[in-house]
Structure 1
Amino acid sequence: MEKEEADAIAALANGAFDVILQTPLVGFLSIGALVLSFVIALFITRRLKRVRPITSRIRIVIDYLSTLVLAILIMFAFMRTFSGTLANPLVFVLGGLLLSFLVVRLIGMIVELIFKPHDPLRSILRVSSVLFWLTLLIYLFGQWNPTVKGFFDAEYAIGDAKISAFAILTILFFAAIIIIVTIWVSEASQRYLHKRSGLQPNLALALERIVSVTIWVIAALMIVSMAGINLTALAAFGGALGIGLGLGFQKLAASYISGLILLFERSVRVGDNLVSDRITGKVTEMTIRYTTIHTTDGLDVLISNDTLINSTIFNETLSDNNVRLEFPVTVASTTDLYAARSIFLAAVEKQPRVMKDPPPQIYTASIENKNIKLLARFWINDPSNGRIGIISDINETVLDEYKKKGIDLA
């Protein structure tokens, strides 16, 4: 900062302190006018938010600017009305602070309107704007305070490099901007790939993950480079660290690689119905590391992708949704076989979930110990709705009809 600018800030700050020290009543009234302006502005802002209808963009503008703009206007009105009391350096300093904060909030509003961040990024952005403003004020007014100025100008050793506190704050500020832009680009690319009708869901998901990781790696390298860290030394350190992590995180690496394999080869997709020795359910989410299956018991099971690849899994909906079910009914050998088969077939055909093509079949599976075992085979096209329900309905219908016809179950 130039010496003339620092002297001007120092003179303005000294004038504001002189008002407080020499005329406490004027200082109290000046600060009171500012507080009253904010109270009135907050009240009006809350009333504005209750107006219906209000779009999301207008709400963002109100959140960022309404209170500050109204407070500045009300404060200006107070100054015009009570110019003899409020026209003093303290009010000018307070007004300047409000205007500088308004500029920072305006920038934050533009960023939010363009990038449309979601929570918690939106909250981080709004808090960051306040912190940036406070840091800027401390830096500017610290130019006339030797202690604060010494803090910002002092250089701190980080390894072989030296960096000042102001440089650290600058790096953090630009790093925050890079992170916000990175998140926006990542989300925008994911939305674009998700909307591409020509891409299979699994391929789109795999590309989303790859693009997201690539963008974050580039952002990290930009931040590291901005901080002045030697990338050559970092590469050597990363190589040694990679060997150690590779030995310790083999299982995690296997899950990530398996996730990419699953996403690209499309042997398992979101919406598929999977059956194994332990679980049966529908795939609801696939990530690089794990796959989420919503079981028929209502539980969400997270299975690591390497386990999914190395296990025997039945995918009931890989080629289509058609699944064949079968279950037996055993009757006495003295039973009218034709009547028993007809009732059994009618009970199966009665169920709305049973497919008409191919049609259900009833077989005489075996004759053992004076009993006849009948076997029903039929197809359904909604395995994700479960199996036990339809089998239970058929059993109840068969039992009722057999009782009416006097057919005994063995």
Structure 2
Amino acid sequence: MNQNPLTTLWVDFQTDLGIPDLRWQILAVVLCFALGWLLTRVVGGVLAARDAQKNIAAKPDAEQFARVLWPLLTLVLLGVANLVLAHWLSVDLMRVVLPLLASFVLVRLALYILRRVFARDGNDGSFILLFGRAFAGLVWTIVALHITGLLPDIAEFLDSTLIPLGRNKVSLLTMLQAILSVGVTLLLALWISALLEERLMKFGSMHSSMRAVLSRMSRAILVLIALLVSLSMVGIDLTVLSVFGGALGVGLGLGLQKLASSYVSGFVILLERSLSIGDTVTVDRFTGQVIQINTRYTVLRGGDGTDTVMPNEMLVSNVVQNVSLTDRLLLLTTKVTVDYRTDIDLALRLLEEAALNIARVRKGPDRTPKANMTAFGADGIDLQLGFWIADPENGRVGVLSDVNRAIWRSFQVHDINVPFPQREIRLIDEQYRAVKEHLNADARRSTPDSAP
């Protein structure tokens, strides 16, 4: 009687389970996976309890880190178990499980680093998803070739395949190693710089500009070190970069003056702290709140929600009006004209009381609203009200409108007249007769003769 393949496989599996070495290895694998999962839960609980004590909301990357921590801890436990069992048993099963689990850890770790660098808000973009799938496919393919024993033959084939580059020939394996080393080192450098930036932004005692410049400088230094290390790893002589450095310097001096000036100006702004995120500034014809300071440009957000990308060179070479550099208080004024029959003392008092009724107007003892009589105008008496606000980033038009409306309502209640311009034309008798004769003559010329 012929047995089906499933029955044959089950019989072979039962036969293999009878081998003591295999049973011990299976038991070690199961225990390591269970212990790794348990340790992950314990570490996650400790971190959650610490965040709860500090009233910190759960971070979006905490769950992603837990997805990396479980296979990583399991891999460490399996490595220890493999070292222990290798003294008494033949660990053939471990040699298969360890590469598979290591590749799984590598894929999840790469995705975690990509999200921390390029998607800090927790939303994965199409680039991250596509790169993650391609990287996972590459890793699993390499692991499959390693398990089947085909990887050394393929590596030897790639090493023997030479590609001409100028006067030299480079093997395909060397080129792939160079691309891989550059990509890995750059990704690690960006990840470390992102971690440093998060740490720096938590230092409340340090000025925001200093934190920003330290973050930008650390990223630039780490990327430079990553490039140098990756190139030296594949055997490229770094002295050849001196020619490239000289050419780059000439290019910056001739064709990239504006770009280089903006980069240098960015570091100057961050170091001298003339601008900070949240300041309300006016540069040329642009007014807005500073929402982002980069090494090349600064972003200003206007009151209408429009973002202006301004090169840092303009912020260094032009006059910058910063209303919140040393003091966030801002003086606003509004003017009004009243009738000559108005009680001026009453009108001035009503102006100050109207400003005090607005929530955004400062009511402190040092800078209270103040009304003054400025001039005797052609249509009435000119009055001016000055008041202070402590939040210029919220706009000026809104608070001016609220104050003017409060003044109008108060004047209507107290019957104070706000005159509009009036002009009178008076003609003396001689001028009146001349104008009348001129009009009559025009009328006679425009009337046709009635006689035939």
* TM-score normalised by the chain length of structure 2: 0.65
CA distance in 1, matches of 2:163, 2:262: 42
Give the corresponding residue for 2:240. Answer: 233
Q: Give the superposition deviation at 1:374.
A: 0.4
Give the corresponding residue for 2:87. Answer: none
Match of 1:193 among 200, 216, 220: 200
Give the corresponding residue for 2:285. Answer: 278
Give the corresponding residue for 2:330. Answer: 323
Q: Give the superposition deviation at 1:256.
A: 0.6
> Are 1:397 and 2:399 an aligned pair?
no
- Three-state SS of the structure 1 residue aligned to 2:332 is strand
Q: In the TM superposition, what are the counterparts of 1:192-231 in structure 2 within 5 Å?
A: 192-231=199-238
Q: Compared with structure 1, are the counterparts of its residues 310 and 290 closer, same or farther at alpha carbon in structure 2 (3 Å cutoff)?
A: same
CA distance in 2, matches of 1:114, 1:339: 68
Q: Give the superposition deviation at 1:226.
A: 2.4
CA distance in 1, matches of 2:193, 2:132: 17
> Are 1:177 and 2:184 an aligned pair?
yes
Give the corresponding residue for 2:22. Answer: none
CA distance in 2, matches of 1:193, 1:65: 29
Mark the runs of 5 or more structure 1 residues left unpaired by the alignment. Answer: 1-24, 31-52, 67-91
> Are 1:156 and 2:163 an aligned pair?
yes
CA distance in 1, matches of 2:349, 2:153: 100
Give the letter aligned to residue 382 of structure 2. Answer: K
CA distance in 2, matches of 1:223, 1:58: 30
- Three-state SS of the structure 1 residue aligned to 2:338 is strand
Give the letter aligned to residue 250 of structure 2. Answer: I
CA deviation map 1:118-154 (0-9, x unaligned): 4469654664243144246568526668xx9544422
- Three-state SS of the structure 1 residue aligned to 2:150 is helix
CA distance in 1, matches of 2:354, 2:235: 77
8 Å contact 2:266–2:296 — kept in the other structure?
yes
Give the letter aligned to residue 403 of structure 2. Answer: I
Instruction: Report the number of matched residues.
Output: 338
For the aligned residue pairs, the C-alpha RMSD in angstroms reads 3.7
Q: Compared with structure 1, are the counterparts of its residues 61 and 201 closer, same or farther at alpha carbon in structure 2 (3 Å cutoff)?
A: closer
Give the corresponding residue for 2:350. Answer: 343
8 Å contact 2:274–2:325 — kept in the other structure?
yes
CA distance in 2, matches of 1:288, 1:317: 22
8 Å contact 1:64–1:109 — kept in the other structure?
no
Give the corresponding residue for 1:48. Answer: none
Give the letter aligned to residue 386 of structure 2. Answer: R
> Are 1:409 and 2:409 an aligned pair?
no
Q: Compared with structure 1, are the counterparts of its residues 354 and 150 closer, same or farther at alpha carbon in structure 2 (3 Å cutoff)?
A: closer
CA distance in 1, matches of 2:252, 2:113: 39
8 Å contact 1:64–1:105 — kept in the other structure?
no
Question: RCO (CA 8 Å, sep 6+): is it higher in 1 or 2?
Answer: 1
CA deviation map 1:161-212 (0-9, x unaligned): 4332222223333333312321222122222322233321101111111111
Give the letter aligned to residue 359 of structure 2. Answer: P
Match of 1:382 among 384, 391, 410: 391
Relative to structure 2, which stretch is displaced further, 391-400 or 318-327?
391-400
Q: In the TM superposition, what are the counterparts of 1:10-29 in structure 2 within 5 Å?
A: none
Give the corresponding residue for 2:306. Answer: 299
Give the corresponding residue for 1:367. Answer: 376
Give the corresponding residue for 2:41. Answer: none
Q: Give the superposition deviation at 1:222.
A: 1.4
CA distance in 2, matches of 1:167, 1:177: 15
Match of 1:287 among 294, 316, 326: 294
CA deviation map 1:288-347 (0-9, x unaligned): 111111111111111111111222221111112111111110012122222222222221
8 Å contact 1:283–1:293 — kept in the other structure?
yes
Q: Give the superposition deviation at 1:231.
A: 2.2
CA distance in 2, matches of 1:172, 1:339: 80
CA distance in 2, matches of 1:144, 1:336: 103
> Are 1:105 and 2:116 an aligned pair?
no
Q: Give the superposition deviation at 1:224.
A: 2.0
Give the corresponding residue for 2:50. Answer: none
8 Å contact 2:142–2:151 — kept in the other structure?
no
Q: Compared with structure 1, are the counterparts of its residues 391 and 107 closer, same or farther at alpha carbon in structure 2 (3 Å cutoff)?
A: closer
CA distance in 2, matches of 1:176, 1:101: 23
Q: Compared with structure 1, are the counterparts of its residues 404 and 236 closer, same or farther at alpha carbon in structure 2 (3 Å cutoff)?
A: same
Q: Compared with structure 1, are the counterparts of its residues 281 and 340 closer, same or farther at alpha carbon in structure 2 (3 Å cutoff)?
A: same
Q: Give the superposition deviation at 1:285.
A: 0.8
- Three-state SS of the structure 2 residue aligned to 1:259 is helix
8 Å contact 1:115–1:181 — kept in the other structure?
no
CA distance in 2, matches of 1:359, 1:245: 53
CA deviation map 1:207-262 (0-9, x unaligned): 11111101101111112222333322221133124313431111111111111111
Give the corresponding residue for 1:250. Answer: 257
CA distance in 1, matches of 2:182, 2:232: 11
8 Å contact 1:202–1:264 — kept in the other structure?
yes
Give the greater-gyration-radius structure (CA): 2
